[in-house]
Amino acid sequence: MVDRRRFLAGIAVPALSSLSPIASAVTRVWQPEELAEGAAAEGYLERIAGKVPLIKRSYRPPNFETPLDYYKNIITPNDAFFVRYHLSGVPDVNVKTWRVKVGGDAAQHPAEYDFAALKRDFPVVEMVAVCQCSGNRRGMFAPHVQGVEWGVGAMGNARWKGVRLRDVLAKSGVAKDAIEVGFNGADGPALPVTPDFVKSLPIDRALDENTLIAFEMNGKPLPRWNGFPARLIVPGWTGTYWVKHLTDIDVRSKPLVNFWMNPAYRIPAGKFPQVARFPSQENAAGQPITDMVVNSLVTTIHDGLRVHRGQVVDVGGIAWDGGHGIRDVMVSVDSGQSWQKAQLGRDLGRFSFRPFSFKWHATQPGPTVVMVKATNNRGETQVPELIFNPAGYHHNVVSRIMVEVA
């Protein structure tokens, strides 16, 4: 029997063989030195339909990360944007029959919208925001933790266009006892015993003016691998909440109870005291992962680089956080003994990547440790040592890059 969600989405779940790469570049690509040996060996470039060659982490479900070079631009191209799925049933949605349903015990007037109505009945807005997998950099954890062994490329920055979730919810009416809003998409498990990927947000975050239902990405329809025809956008929060191929919105008076809310996507209580709260999903042992911690990525140099004495080296890259905005990026070329400010580049908004650059005059011969750390407008800074947690979240250690000056 075909369930209602897949019928309304016009979904066709392709055979597993169709999820295999259409071509294999079998090309080695830069990966972090800290990445586990096995993950680095398996992480070669593969191409799937509609994408440039990306770093393969798994085929089923499809998980592919963006190579470093694409982060030299502040906006990540659609065809280079990372791919993240929890379930192997990646849908091929027919936009003509797709619907999104708004309901739940705390929705006063349940409703249903087709694609045209969604775009017609609500004001359309646009914003730039980073989408980052909660487990980005998990493969760099020591000791090793379970999960997709991501390097640095399970993220991207895009210009999203859509409608505010709060406008859609307002039309259905949100009861006073609403505490969460749940979301489901057209992707599904290959086997019935696998839990469907359903997530929720606290009501205040769902009603935030920046939370969107997006149908465009960088001026074009969402790619299939990134949520076509519509997905949830939760700027500042990690990608686990950015539900793709959205079909159901459930306004709830009780907390959502399922595998993907607990035990999955949790951090130990008190381990990261500055992150946003999700009170209805917290307990004594842990809390859901929510917003992104402040971080940076150097894109112009990497470990093992050799430069000439007297050469001017560009130490540049991107910085971001959970929406407070980047205050400054500091660079050290003497193993952290002294720090100098990098120049910040174009500001596309507090949820966007912020580029930075620093000109280093390499005057001292021998090995040099270049260090980079970002600080946000709340005063939070990248950490000097890894804050270990079993799920491999929030890796934001200060960058250390070994460069040889000859």
CA angle (45 as vertex; 44, 48 as ends), nearest 5: 130
CA angle (57 as vertex; 54, 63 as ends), nearest 5: 75
Closest to 98 (Cα-Cα) out of 164, 218, 199, 4: 4
For range 328-334, the mean pLDDT: 97
CA dist 403 and 406 (Å) reads 10
* pLDDT on residue 17: 38
Give all strands of the β-sheet with 399-405 in edge-to-edge order: 305-307, 399-405, 366-376, 326-332, 340-341
74: alpha, beta or left? (left if phi > 0; alpha if psi -120 to 50): alpha
Closest to 116 (Cα-Cα) out of 101, 98, 102: 98
Q: Which of 14-18, 267-271, 346-350, 395-399 has the lowest mean pLDDT?
A: 14-18
What is 295-405's CATH number?
2.60.40.650
For domain 1-291, give the CATH superfamily. Oxidoreductase, molybdopterin-binding domain (3.90.420.10)
Over pLDDT 70: what percentage of the chain?
93
Is 326's pLDDT higher than 70?
yes
Is 380's pLDDT higher than 90?
yes
* pLDDT on residue 26: 55
Please, are residues 202 and 211 in contact by the beta-carbon 8 Å criterion? no
| Each residue's pLDDT tens digit, 271-305 | 998 899 999 999 999 999 999 999 999 999 999 99
Give residue limits of the domains in the chain.
1-291, 295-405
Containing 117, the helix (H) or strand (E) segment is helix 115-120
For range 77-100, the mean pLDDT: 97
Closest to 217 (Cα-Cα) out of 62, 72, 78, 397: 78
Phi, psi of 38 (to 5 degrees): -65, -40
Q: Which residues 6+ apart lie within 8 Å of 180 measured at CB?
A: 200, 201, 202, 203, 206, 252, 254, 255, 256, 280, 281
For range 163-171, the mean pLDDT: 98
Torsion, Cα 72 324 127 93, to 10 degrees, reads 80
| Equal CATH topology for 1-291 and 295-405 | no
